[in-house]
Amino acid sequence: MINSSLKQLGAMLQAKQISSTELTQAFLQRIDQHNPEINAYITIDAERSLAQAKAADARIAAGTAQPLTGIPIAQKDIFVANGWKTTCGSKMLDNFIGPYDATVIKLFDEAGAVNLGKTNMDEFAMGSSNETSYYGKVQNPWDRTRVPGGSSGGSAAAVAARLCAAATGTDTGGSIRQPASLCGLSGLKPTYGLVSRYGMIAFASSLDQAGPMAKSCEDMALMMNVMTGFDERDSTSLQRDKEDYERELGKPLQGLRVGLPKEFFADGLSSEVAAVVESAIAEYRKLGAEIVEISLPNTQLSIPVYYVLAPAEASSNLSRFDGVRYGHRAAEYDDLLDMYCKSRAEGFGAEVKRRILIGTYVLSAGYYDAYYLKAQQIRRLIAEDFAKAFTQCDVIMGPTAPGTAFRSGEKANDPVAMYLEDLYTIAVNLAGLPGMSIPAGFASVDGKQLPVGLQVIGNYFDEARMLNVGHAYQQVTDWHSRMPEGL
């Protein structure tokens, strides 16, 4: 049951083979058993989850259920949830109880899904390993000595360990796709503006995007059907008709043009990951896809551009957390300025402070043109690279991350090495495009079999085709259905 797809669970609930209450209890028991070690959840409220399950059972009995009604999912702790503790992985918000629901939370509630709890994450979504959370690091279920990736590592670990049926994540520079790759999951970052950011605590507003994390592309299609839609409370939300993301799942791939950027297969990519990705590409050839070589010449500039723009936006967004308007307040201080300084010094962790300092510097008078303005100009060039590439192909493929999951602490003192983990994902956020990671196989590292992700990048609003491309692959492979041993 715990390894069943969302569609299978929905069918079991509709057929009364199991109730939502029984299903929720089963996942809560697994959380009790495994979460103390994996640390995937920050907040669990069994009483509230079971109340939602009971309501879902009543809805199923009344014949008003939707596809996700009664199915337990987890929510990343970046989404404000009414009455739930919402921390964003930070001491700064340790005591914050959400006074309203984020739009994503509200949509899943309306669909009748059960909220199992709030998942762990890198502090304010800043990190590529899930080691910067105030609530402790998350362990990768495939190897407990390794990281699950970040910042949605708690959601990824929860799905991989089958501590929920699916989960939400957010992706600013790869924070859905990279942990999905390292934990053997499917994860989708939609087109910017397709999912409302209302009630999602902001890191870098022009890059942040919420998306689904699940076992398969079919599961993600069901979640996308719930999550997407125009929201007048989000000024960046796009006015588009609601789509059915299941509509193309069964289409054959004959004639699909797959672009392989030569820059994605250059120095920096581990040979083990390259071999797995090339094997997945070969499978697509068998499915009828045409493979074409393309170039994204400005890809190598995406990391320096990202680490100018994202900290700049973060330094502005996080200014509200000062102990007065929001967040932790120091217990002792001499005057107002001292209170601000001590509250922020105590409330924020080292990585958040580092990015606030970088962001404040690049926005300061005298440096704005040299750094921020120049980065925005290069961002345009990166988007133009993708526009040109999509005249030659339908989707772009390559590795999601340059390596497999690395050991906890291995890159903690080397920020540049950590930032390079998002080498292949950041450009997608800078261009606002949709990107997806799906399980492509396993690489042998130090005697362990560790998951490897295949990244699929689509043109704007092409999520249905991307899910079709991933689903077709998952019909002829079983990487997505494998579970870590011992769970």
Catalytic residue among 155, 175, 196, 237: 175
Catalytic choice (19, 20, 133, 151): 151
Distance between CA atoms of 140 and 484, rounded to whole angstroms? 9
How buried is residue 330: exposed, middle or buried, by Cβ count under 10 Å (0-12/13-18/19+)?
middle
What span, in angstroms and rounded, lies between the C-alpha atoms of 316 and 380? 22
For the chain, the 3-state helix, strand and coil shares in percent, each to the nearest 5, are 40, 15, 45
Residues 138 and 153 sit within 8 Å (Cβ to Cβ)? yes
Our answer to whether residue 175 is catalytic in this structure is yes
* Residue 155 annotated as catalytic: no
DSSP 438: E
Q: CA 395 → CA 103, 261, 422, 458, distances in Å?
A: 30, 11, 20, 5
| Sole residue written with tokens 């924070």 | 175
Please, what's the b/e burial string for 464-483 (b: 16 or more CB within 10 A of its CB; e: otherwise)?
bbbbbbbbbbbeebebbebe
Q: Cβ atoms within 10 A of the Cβ of 225, count?
A: 20
Q: How far apart are CA 127 and CA 156, in angstroms?
A: 14
- Amino acid identity, position 431: A
Contact 183, 157 (CB under 8 A): yes
List of E strands, 218-332 = 257-261, 290-294
Name which of 465, 461, 462 is nearest 238 in CA terms: 461
DSSP line for 1-66: -TT--HHHHHHHHHTTSS-HHHHHHHHHHHHHHHHHHH--EEE--HHHHHHHHHHHHHHHHHT---
**Per annotation, catalytic residue among 5, 49, 76, 411:** 76
Is 295 a residue of the active site? Answer: no
Q: Both tokens of residue 25?
A: 């209890």
Give one DSSP letter per residue of 173-225, joined into a string: SSTTHHHHHHHT-EEEEPPTTSB--TTBPPSSTTT--EEEEESSHHHHHHHHH
Measuring CA to CA, which residue among 122, 108, 115, 172 is closest to residue 150?
122
Residues forming the active site: 76, 151, 175
